[in-house]
């Protein structure tokens, strides 16, 4: 890169009086290996939290089969949300669902 030239992966300098970027904005600009490490950390947190939840539910007498059924059935909740999002993004265009 030339001297004084700004690289495309560096953030633009803040103007005086401008508030610092939000945590959500900072998280949305993660790229490269840092993004992969963030996903690995998120999966670890979800798995550990899930294991504590399962342990407490089984301790209260909930059967493992019922727990498995409930968890898998909750995936169905995501389908209408996905299709609603797709429908809203398409707007006036033809919406064909899967294709």
Query: Which tokens go with 77?
Result: 């909740």
The pLDDT, as a whole number, for residue 42 is 93
Separation CA 48–CA 64 (nearest Å): 17
Query: Which tokens go with 41?
Result: 């950390």
The pLDDT, as a whole number, for residue 70 is 83
User: Do residues 29 and 11 make contact, with C-beta atoms less than 8 angstroms apart?
Assistant: yes
* pLDDT tens digit at each of 99 positions of the chain: 456 555 556 666 777 777 777 777 777 788 888 889 999 999 999 999 988 988 888 899 888 888 888 888 887 888 888 888 888 887 656 655 555
Q: What does the DSSP assignment read for 58-95?
A: HHTT--HHHHHHHHHHTHHHHHHHHHHHHHHHHTTS--
The pLDDT, as a whole number, for residue 7 is 59
The pLDDT, as a whole number, for residue 82 is 84
């Amino acid at each position: 890169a030339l001297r004084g030239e700004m690289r495309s992966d560096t953030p633009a300098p803040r103007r005086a009086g401008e508030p610092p970027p939000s945590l959500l904005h900072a998280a949305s600009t993660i790229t490269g290996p840092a993004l992969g490490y963030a996903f690995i950390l998120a999966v670890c947190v979800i798995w550990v939290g899930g294991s504590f939840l399962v342990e407490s539910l089984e301790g209260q007498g909930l059967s493992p089969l019922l727990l498995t059924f409930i968890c898998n059935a909750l995936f169905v909740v995501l389908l209408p949300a996905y299709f609603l999002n797709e429908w809203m993004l398409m707007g006036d265009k033809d919406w064909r669902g899967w294709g």
